[in-house]
């Protein structure tokens, strides 16, 4: 009887401990904890792919500056100096003698394109669109890394909560095994009951180790996304609460908003405009080109007297216009025009495909939300039923209507329902965040 009272008291203590379970940080690393927002900002700042896109944007900006500068006149300066040596006849003495003399020439020239079928203007417009496209590529890359970081972050929080529950289950299971050994040694239970309890204890420990491995893998995934060195302490900071917020728009509103605001759609639209400007540039190859030019030059020779007077006497200026008309170019410009038309058609298909894929992604995100909510609602009801069954088993244990094994079975059912509820809660939060993110809402917890 004394052993039974001790066992009942120990079980009641376990019951109160489980009823007061709350998620908390586990596996502390001792390093600075990152919030979700900090993780996202770190990923945007350090991600190699995004930084590569930033360099591409800088390159596109330089292309734009060079295109604008191509409308300006160029200016080229040349200078030449030479020394000559040769034999000549002295006009006074009629003797042959060696003579060395110096000559110099100096010139500046400039040219400017006056008309080339608006090629330069269209090229400037095109380079400007490519800069915008590069900016949108960066934004699209940041969107992709945001979703990856959010999923990894929530996976860590989920694993943390599961570890809390599993640790409590293992502690309870260890105590149960010790108590069962005492009862078996006292002859109060059969060996089969002891073996079953030991098998359950082994299963509980295995589940805990498995979840701890999942936690470590999720932490590794997030560290790799943030490019954090392997030897750096890292942990995440859990929000005060993780409530399921069911405020989100209907599917048609989400699709229309995404099609109007998402960078991938805007980028495809820019791609179509760039292709059209390519066609205009190709057509310029069929038109004449007018170029203006000018030059100024002078020179001197040491045989001809005063240096500065020679420069003034030899000063020469020239202005000119040149007209280049393509007569037969072996179909090169015409081929460029036709290929540009094909590229426009291809860009149109790319835009249509981008819109289709995005619409499908938003619809899939909406379906994921619906499925997650259904699972969450079912998990809530299952948890309520398990909690009630656990409470009733506890009352029955006090009255002596059930034994310890029956209570432990109800406890396992309750813990399994709790884990299923936690999984469903995190899935619902994640899918709602993804769904609303397609409409431009920031990811926050």
Q: How far apart are CA 43 and CA 142, in angstroms?
A: 8
H-helix or E-strand containing 311?
helix 307-313
CA dist 228 → 32, 51, 223, 252, 444 (Å): 12, 16, 5, 40, 22
C-alpha 368/C-alpha 169 separation (Å) is: 31
Tens digit of each residue's pLDDT (9 = 90 or more) over 235-272: 898 887 777 877 888 999 999 999 999 999 999 999 99
DSSP reduced 3-state for 442: coil
Q: Rounded to whole angstroms, how far apart are CA atoms 437 and 66? A: 38
**pLDDT given at position 90:** 58
| Nearest C-alpha neighbor of 41 from the set 217, 240, 225, 230 | 225
**Checking DSSP bridges between strand 33-34 and strand 316-324, what pairing results, if any?**
unpaired
In 3D space, the residue among 260, 266, 259 whose CA is nearest the CA of residue 360 turns out to be: 259
Q: Which sign does the torsion angle of CA 44, 49, 51, 54 carry?
A: negative
pLDDT number for residue 94? 61
Q: What is the DSSP string of 303-334?
A: TSS-HHHHHHHT-EEEEEEEEE--S--TTHHH
Q: What is the mean pLDDT for each group of 10 consecutive residues in the chain (445 residues)?
A: 38 39 37 86 94 97 96 95 74 66 91 94 97 97 95 93 87 82 82 82 91 94 90 84 81 95 96 97 94 94 81 91 92 95 97 97 96 94 92 79 75 86 93 92 86
Q: What is the reported pLDDT for 171?
A: 87
Between CA 398 and CA 391 the distance in angstroms is: 11
CA 367, distance to chain mean position in Å, is: 24
Mind listing the domains of the chain with CATH numbers?
2-437 (1.20.1600.10)
CA distances from 389 to 162, 395, 410 (A): 21, 10, 7
């Amino acid at each position: 009887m004394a052993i039974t009272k001790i066992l009942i008291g120990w079980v009641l203590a376990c019951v109160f401990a489980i009823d007061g379970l709350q998620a908390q940080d586990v596996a502390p690393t001792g390093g600075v904890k990152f919030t979700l927002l900090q993780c996202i900002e770190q990923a945007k700042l350090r991600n190699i792919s995004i930084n590569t896109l930033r360099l591409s944007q800088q390159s596109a900006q330089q292309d734009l500056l060079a295109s604008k500068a191509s409308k300006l006149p160029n200016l080229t300066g040349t200078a030449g100096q030479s020394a000559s040596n040769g034999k000549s006849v002295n006009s006074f003495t009629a003797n042959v003698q060696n003579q060395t003399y110096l000559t110099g020439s100096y010139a500046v020239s400039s040219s400017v394109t006056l008309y080339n079928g608006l090629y330069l203007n269209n090229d400037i417009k095109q380079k400007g669109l490519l800069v915008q496209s590069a900016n949108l590529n960066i934004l699209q890359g940041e969107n992709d890394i945001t979703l990856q970081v959010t999923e990894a972050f929530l996976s860590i929080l989920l694993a943390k909560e599961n570890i809390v529950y599993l640790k409590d289950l293992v502690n309870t299971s260890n105590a149960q095994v010790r108590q069962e050994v005492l009862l078996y040694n006292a002859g109060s239970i059969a060996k089969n009951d002891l073996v079953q309890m030991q098998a359950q204890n082994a299963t509980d420990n295995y589940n805990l180790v498995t979840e701890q491995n999942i936690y470590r893998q999720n932490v590794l995934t997030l560290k790799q996304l943030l490019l954090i060195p392997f030897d750096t302490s890292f942990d995440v900071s859990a929000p005060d609460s993780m409530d399921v917020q069911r405020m989100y728009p209907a599917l048609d509103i989400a699709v229309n908003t995404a099609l109007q605001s998402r960078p991938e759609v805007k980028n495809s639209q820019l791609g179509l405009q760039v292709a059209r400007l390519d066609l205009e540039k190709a057509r310029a190859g069929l038109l004449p080109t007018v170029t203006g030019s000018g030059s100024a030059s002078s020179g001197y020779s040491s045989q001809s007297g005063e240096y500065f007077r020679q420069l003034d006497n030899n000063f020469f200026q020239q202005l000119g216009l040149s007209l280049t008309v393509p007569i037969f170019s072996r179909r090169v410009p015409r081929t460029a025009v036709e290929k540009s038309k094909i590229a426009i058609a291809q860009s149109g298909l790319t835009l249509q495909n981008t819109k289709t894929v995005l619409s499908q992604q938003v619809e899939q995100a909406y379906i994921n939300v619906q499925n997650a909510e259904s699972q969450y609602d079912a998990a809530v009801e299952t948890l309520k039923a398990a909690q009630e069954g656990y409470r009733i088993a506890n009352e029955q244990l006090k009255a002596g209507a059930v034994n310890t094994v029956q209570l432990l079975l109800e406890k396992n059912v309750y813990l399994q329902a709790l884990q299923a509820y936690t999984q469903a809660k995190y899935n619902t939060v994640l899918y709602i965040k993804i769904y609303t993110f397609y409409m431009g809402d920031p990811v926050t917890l």
